[in-house]
Structure 1
Amino acid sequence: MKKALHILLLSFYLLSCTELHELTKVPVLFQHYFEHKSLDAKITFLAYLEHHYNDVPHTDNDEERDNQLPFKTHELFASSVISPALPPSFDVIPKKVYQILPKQKILINNDHIPNSAFAGKIWQPPKIVS
C-alpha cells in the first residue's frame, strides 16, 4: 500500500511539474498521423515525424491541429513560476558589500632561521660523485 501511494504521488508530481504531461498527448500524435495517411498513402511514420518536428517552415495548413501534438508548445505552470514565499512584485537585487580593511603591519620574525654553518649547504646545487 505504501509503495502504491509513493508511485501515485510521484506520478502526480511528474505529470504536473515537468514536461511529462506531454506524453498524455501521444494519442493525438497517432490520430494526426492517420489523418495525413488518409491524404497521402505513401507517407511513413518517420517521414511524418520529420515533417512535423524537423521541418522549420512547416506548411500543411493545419497549424491549430499541429500545436496539439506532444512537445510542440511550451507552457508555464503557476506552480513553477509563482512562489508563495515571495510576493510577485518583490524584486531581489543583490547589493555589493564592500569592507575596507585597515592596513596591518606584518612583523617578520627571523627566529626560525638557524644560524648554523650547515644550513647554507642545503641550498647548493647537487654535486657529481665520481
Structure 2
Amino acid sequence: MNIFALLKKGCLYILFFILLLNDTSLNQFVKLPVMLAHFTEHRQRDSQIGFIQFLAMHYWGTDLNDNDNDRDAQLPYKKVDIHSIDHPVIPTIRPVIEKHLVLSSVVVQPVFNNDLLPQPALGSLFRPPKIAV
C-alpha cells in the first residue's frame, strides 16, 4: 500500500475521532480517571463502600453532605454539554456534471413582485419630491 494512502487514512481516522468526541457526549469518557480518583477518596473515608454503592450515591440517589459538590460535578455524565452540532463538508475533487433535460423550447418564468425588496429610488439621497394631496 502507498505511504500517502496510509497517511491519508490515518488523518481521516484522527479527524473522525476528534469530531466524534466534540459532537457527541463521548468526550465524557475522558473524565473516567476523575471518577476513579474520586472513588478512591470515598474509599479512604469509608472502606466499606463498593463501586456500585459509589455510583448509586452519585448518580441514582442522594449524595452525602460531605462538602465535595465541586468534585462531584467533575464526574462523567453529571453535566453533559453539547454546544454545537457541526457537520463538516468536504468538497469533492471530481466536478459534478449535471445534465438538464429540455422538454420544450419555450420556458415560462414567473415574474415575482416582492414588496419587501428595497427600491433604489426611494433609498437614494436625491429622490423626487413628494406631491402633497
TM bracket, shorter-chain basis: 0.5 to 0.7
What is the deviation of 1:76?
A: 3.8
Structure 2: which 5+ residue stretches go unaligned? 1-6, 87-133
1:41 partner amino acid: S
How many pairs does the alignment contain? 79
CA RMSD, Structure 1 to Structure 2 (Å): 1.6
- Specify the code of the residue in structure 1 equivalent to 2:48: K
Q: What is aligned with 2:37?
A: 31
Aligned to 1:67: 73
Displacement of 1:63 after TM fit? 1.0
| Structure 2 contact 24–82 (Cα < 8 Å) conserved | no
Deviations 1:37-70 (A, max 9, x none): 0000111111111111110x32333111100000
Given the alignment of the two structures, is residue 50 of structure 1 paired with residue 59 of structure 2, yes or no?
Answer: no
Q: Does 1:40 align with 2:60?
A: no
User: What is the one-letter code of the residue matched to 2:38?
Assistant: H
Q: Which runs of 5+ in 1 are unaligned?
A: 82-130
Please, what TM-score do these two structures have when normalized by structure 2? 0.55
Moved over 4 A (4+): none
Which structure has the bigger radius of gyration?
A: 1
Percent of counterpart pairs with the same letter?
Answer: 35
